[in-house]
Amino acid sequence: MSYAYHEPSELDEALALLARHGDDAHAVAGATAFMLLYRQGLLRPSHVVGLRRVRSLGGIRDDGGALVIGATATHREAERSPLVARHCAALARAFASVATVRVRNQATVGGNLAHADPAQDPPAMLLALDAAVTAVSPGGTREIPLAELFVDVLTTSLAPGELITAVRVPALAPGTRAAYVKFLPRTADDYATVSVAATLRRSEDGRVADVRVVLGAVGPTPIRATSAEDALRGAAPDAARIAEAAALARDAADPIDDVRGSAAYKREMARVWTERALRSLVA
């Protein structure tokens, strides 16, 4: 038996449908992740609430220096948006790193975050950029920093029936550089074996004023390698210091053995790609 598909144009209507049908309802945006889970029988909703026509969820805008990407903006829209590119070229690259143009035309930025597969690309970069999602439920609106959004594999801190309306990326401090690197030893359209998102800002004397290092695909959520950051902050980022930080990133990784490699291999690759990302930021 098929589910009943609903396609409201107002956010209130979408929230009301999800509230009314509770566990029997599931939201979809691009439906790329949903279709796979549904066809495997892992989801069996009686009602599906499509968000694609909800007007207030779309679009990409600048809000006083912050970048606000609507939940139903597709990856393709985000990767090609001049606003995204101007805000942070590495973020545009993270969106463009998702699979293929076919997937990016259909999959949405909000759906990606809500799906919370740790091997996805945008989450690590958005976490490095200190982004937060805006979430709404019948009870009201709240901001959830990405560090608190991702709880476990395919698990977020969103409440049932709560929707992401947008992701908000704060203005970067002047002089901040950012990098996103995705290690793809198998095919160009694969999920990452390891990915690294990093931002770095140097003070006038060349020392590291601020740095964030986030590892993707090597744990149940994107992992912020704070020990690596601590090793760099306040230091001159020479080759030795970067190598030291990269070794700490390796220790922060928490991967599993799978088709993309053994846990030991991925840990080592987390080191290698952290070193490369950081070097590119001080070159």
Partner 1 sequence: MTERLLRFTVNGEPREVRVADDRRLVDVLRDDLRLTGTKEGCSVGVCGVCGVLVDGALVSACLYPAVFADGASITTIEGIARGGTLAPLQEAFISEGGFQCGICTPGQIVAAAALLAERPRPTDAEIDEWMTGSLCRCTGYAGIRRAIRKAAGG
Ligand X SMILES: Cc1cc2nc3c(=O)[nH]c(=O)nc-3n(C[C@H](O)[C@H](O)[C@H](O)COP(=O)(O)OP(=O)(O)OC[C@H]3O[C@@H](n4cnc5c(N)ncnc54)[C@H](O)[C@@H]3O)c2cc1C
Q: Choose the contact partner of 3 out of partner 1, ligand X, none; CB within 5 to 8 A by kind.
A: partner 1
Contacts to partner 1 by CB under 8 A: 1-5, 7, 28, 31-32, 35-36, 38-39, 48, 50, 52, 76, 99-103, 105-106, 188-189
Shortest approach of ligand X to residue 188 CB, angstroms?
Answer: 10
38 vs 265, beta carbon nearer partner 1: 38
Taking phi over 0 as left and psi of -120 to 50 as alpha, with beta for the rest, 172 belongs to: beta
Considering the complex, what minimum distance in angstroms separates the CB of residue 28 from partner 1?
8
- Work out which of 21, 30, 131, 198 binds ligand X, going by CB under 6 A: 30
- Interacting residues with ligand X between 139 and 198 (CB under 6 A): 158, 163-164, 191
Distances (CA, A) of 205 to 41, 208, 234, 236, 277: 58, 9, 10, 9, 21
* Helix ranges, the chain (H): 11-21, 32-39, 75-80, 82-87, 89-96, 101-106, 109-115, 122-128, 146-149, 226-232, 239-252, 263-282
Least distance (Å) between residue 63 CB and ligand X: 18
User: Could you say which residues in the range 89-118 bind ligand X, by CB under 6 A?
Assistant: 98-99, 103, 107-108, 110-112, 114-115
By the rule CB under 6 A, 27 interacts with ligand X: yes
Residue 163 binding: pick among ligand X, partner 1, none (C-beta 5-8 Å cut-off by kind): ligand X
Q: Which does 172 bind (CB under 5 to 8 A by kind): ligand X, partner 1, none?
A: none
- Residues that bind ligand X (rule: CB under 6 A) add up to a total of 29
For 146, the 3-state DSSP assignment is helix
What does the alpha-carbon distance between residue 75 and residue 107 come to, in Å, rounded to a whole number?
6
Binder of residue 39, out of ligand X, partner 1, none (CB less than 5 to 8 A by kind): partner 1
* C-alpha–C-alpha distance, residues 17 and 255, integer Å: 38
Q: Is 207 helix (H, G, I), strand (E, B) or coil?
A: coil
Asked whether 260 and 155 are in contact (CB, 8 A), the reply is: no
- Of residues 106 and 226, the one with the C-beta less far from partner 1: 106
Interaction partner, residue 246 (partner 1, ligand X, none; CB < 5-8 Å by kind): none
Of 260, 180, 249, nearest to 217 by C-alpha is 260
CB of 29 to ligand X, least distance (A): 4
Report the chain's terminal Cα–Cα distance, integer Å. Answer: 58
Taking the complex as a whole, how short is the minimal distance between the CB of residue 240 and partner 1, in angstroms?
A: 35
- How far is 194 from 187, CA to CA, in rounded Å? 13
> Distance between CA 72 and CA 123 in Å, rounded?
16
Partner whose binding site includes residue 115, from ligand X, partner 1, none (CB under 5 to 8 Å by kind) = ligand X
Task: Give the span between the Cα atoms of 281 and 174, in whole angstroms.
Answer: 14
- Give the residues lining the site for ligand X (CB under 6 A): 26-34, 36, 51, 71, 98-99, 103, 107-108, 110-112, 114-115, 120-122, 158, 163-164, 191
